[in-house]
């Protein structure tokens, strides 16, 4: 299945870069977060509060999702900053 329809809302506050949703086939997932870790790496946090209710089960999918979220962030952050 392919990740598609990823929509990023830029936040850029306290390590939170943005909140996003995406589709995987016919499944939509909302409330994901792209965070910047203290060591400079970007990490996707899945929705679910104290315990994830949705999460990648393979390293390959986690990496593909993180890559897609980073691309959407880079694309949308420039647009967001120019509109401030």
The per-residue pLDDT for 57 is 74
Nearest to 7 by CA among 82, 79, 84, 83: 79
Q: What is the mean pLDDT of residues 58-80?
A: 88
Query: Greater confidence, 56 or 76?
Result: 76
CATH of residue 54's domain is 3.30.1120.40
Number of structural domains found in the chain = 1
Residues of the chain with pLDDT > 70: what percent?
90
**Residue 4: strand, helix, or coil:** strand
Place of tokens 């899945």: 46
> Which pLDDT score is estimated for 38?
95
Q: Would you state the structure tokens that stand for residue 81, as one six-digit string?
A: 């900053």
Full domain range(s) for residue 33: 3-82
pTM of the model: 0.71
SS3 content of the chain, % helix, strand, coil (to 5): 30, 40, 30
């Amino acid at each position: 299945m392919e990740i598609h329809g990823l929509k990023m809302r830029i936040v850029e506050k306290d390590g939170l870069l943005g909140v996003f949703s995406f589709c995987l086939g016919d499944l939509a997932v909302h409330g994901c977060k792209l965070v910047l870790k203290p060591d400079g790496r970007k990490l996707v946090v899945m929705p679910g509060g104290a315990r994830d209710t949705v999460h990648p089960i393979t390293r390959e999918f986690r990496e593909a999702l993180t890559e897609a979220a980073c691309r959407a962030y880079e694309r949308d952050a420039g647009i967001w900053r120019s509109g401030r």
